[in-house]
Chain A
Amino acid sequence: MQKFSAFELFKQGLNGQAGWKPQWRSPEPKAAYDAVIIGGGGHGLGAAYYLAKQHGMRNIAVLEKGWLGGGNTGRNTTIIRSNYLFDESAGLYDHSVKLWEGLSQELNYNVMFSQRGVMMLAHTVHDVQVFKRHVHANRANGVDNEWLSPEEAKAYCPPLNISDNMRYPVLGAALQRRGGTARHDAVAWGYARAADDLGVDIIENCEVTGIRRNAAGAVEAVETTKGLIRTPKIGVSAAGHTSVVLGMAGVRLPLESYPLQALVSEPIKPVFPCVVMSNTIHAYISQSDKGELVIGAGTDIYTSYTQRGGLHISQHTLEAICELFPAFRRMRMLRNWGGIVDVTPDRSPIVAKTPVPGLYVNCGWGTGGFKATPGAAHTLAWTIAKDEPHPINAPFTIERFRDGHLIDEAAAAAVAH
């Protein structure tokens, strides 16, 4: 692998930067692999990387029906945080934040992880009580989170409007300073480059059309648009399409797929120092390093696979943004798009074995999967390699819905995740 460094950049500069090679190969699929990952987003590519790096499984492939990171990895608003209420969630999401903190070094790829702080606004007495409960629960779990008065919130984020003339005035905020953003494309590319270097075959434009099982019920092959690929282990990281993929193996899941929209403004000079989330009035905003305001909305109300949603959802979000940040009222929006998110009844993910031997699933991240990319990838790889979950993802099974052990972040906060 061609290492990236300041010296390498200088050296290539002497040659007009013409010496750079493609960052990963584009191989044709082999007839058989030791394991196949379905889904070439950050989660799937990361799982392949950790399988190769930490579990010595080098004869593996990642199958992607489109292009790398073209699904939800490239469609989210890049917010990273771990201030979840329950112990199980704090364990999983904070595992991710810790991996994020070393990821650029580990991959030799600048994922632009920026711990600029994630501030969640409280607008009602209920919000205040819920967020303070979160602050205490997080601290008990070793996750940083602190309560700010409206004035302290404005000091941390000067564009914020804390006037009491708003329909939903800011009554305070919970701030996780270790939270922040990262560059989403770089995460997929960094994992792809590092996995490829370890021998992983990354196969784009290769859609899985079927999963074959042997007489014992275990998986034995995947049917794809590039032919049959035999494998004893399949890991699925297909986000919104997980129900479709697992349906090929006869597995039903507690998932529904919804469109989630985001939009960006025209780029402007640095004006917004952190991430601000307002779950109550559905507005999530940060500024990318390119200068665009990156804005997230709530999901549309109906299930869909269209990767687009209704304009009124974005409009609703922009109304909230304009009230919270009056300075942005004359900004023009550049693009808006949708991704398909797979939502579980308790708004917590599933990273687990399935009832089918050799079939493993990483799904149900709903509206907040990007933040979990390294942790989901790491624990999925562990689960695939050892055929049993890592202690961190052990609670996130499919069977929790049968056994009543929900990790009910939905009820805990009544907010987006």
Chain B
Amino acid sequence: MPANQVAREAVGDYKAGWHDPENSTVRFDFGLSEQVVREISAIKGEPQWMTDIRVKAFHHFMERPMPTWGSTELLNSIKFDEICYFLRSGEGTENDWDDVPEDVRNTFDKLGIPEAEQKWLSGVTAQYESEAVYHSIREDLEKQGVIFLDMDSGLREHEDIVKKYFCSIIPYQDNKFSALNTAVWSGGSFIYVPKGVHVEMPVQAYFRINAKNMGQFERTLIIADEGSSIHYVEGCTAPTYSTDSLHSAVVELIALPGSYIRYTTIQNWSNNVYNLVTKRGIAHENSTVEWVDGNIGSKLTMKYPAVILKGEGSHAEVISVAYAGEGMHQDAGAKVHHLASNTTSKILSKSIAKNGGRGSYRGMVSVSKKAENCKVNVVCDALILDEQSQSDTYPTMEIKNPSCRCEHEASVSKVSDDQLFYLMSRGHSEDEALALIVNGFFEPFVRELPMEYAVELNQLMALEMEGSIG
């Protein structure tokens, strides 16, 4: 069976595009006001300080102008009044799939989450609309003191830790969408890994939007204590609707001395979802923060995972791929700030544009004056598959210390007829040949993924390449 047929059977045409009837237990009216913000906080029974910060963030959001870069046209077409800011689908967060409402459980079954959980994950959180409907962690990890909760439970059960770190890396004033998220956040993950504990198998969160015109605003906070390590994986999908939904998350990572955090995202939103996410980690002495970021779907993504290298000898890696097909704009990239000496960073960005899609790399690397002997390596490659598609690169470097060793490479390439002919002469159809080239292009990224995701991503890309050559 040809590879793309396998892929089609496995994935379907945007396999995650179905939707279920909406059975909400709590649903807010469309639109945003201080009242909505206060009600979200009240319904969750939050402490006063959280309500206060939400309200402050709301006002900041209202006053803050829209960014004037990225895709301003698309940004300005977001209708904030036509979005539902809170929707509860169950009675709470269950730790047994059997207790999750049947239609919701079926959705996660179809997405393969319970199966993956059994086979190779340390823990799972499944969020449906605004809140987590399922959550579990392996017992042995719990015994070692690992905390893995949805963010709402995290706030209830570990208020002191949340209060210490919430908004510490990404203040609500950071940008318009971090303000929005802080005002209306709901769900997301809260993770604390104690000193010296290594979580060997990844933990996963899965985010699903089901309702029309939904806004999903999860908030994630991960703290790796000294000498610990964790790999967190998130996936996201949504139904295909003719109206738009908004996903605007904030993720804060805190890597304490000697720890290691890897955060992997496979974003496959349907192409009616605005994906405007702020992700930032802080790396203390000799710690490592890695973002592995795959953007395959959405209408507009603006996302630049960042690392602040605060401690000496810390290391940052941002490896990302973006696929921009018809009606899609992927404005993605990375930011790294070297504040301490002997810090190193590596950025690898790969983007593919096809059928009029637009892929942009936007990067920022800074090295502060007092940071000696830093190493910076930036590589960004773009592959354009036809004349209608576009690729742009906006790299910025601010190197204030002359001892820094800095490498930057960028390339834009097109698939050539001779390359396709060579592969076709080895028995591969046109679609298969293109999928081989595209998968090859993404290989440095796919290599970083757990095997299960690598297979899925390759199949997804093979499917996207079908019928691409006219």
Whether A associates with B in a native complex is: no
**A residues within 8 Å of B by Cβ?**
none
Interface residues of B (CB under 8 A from A): none
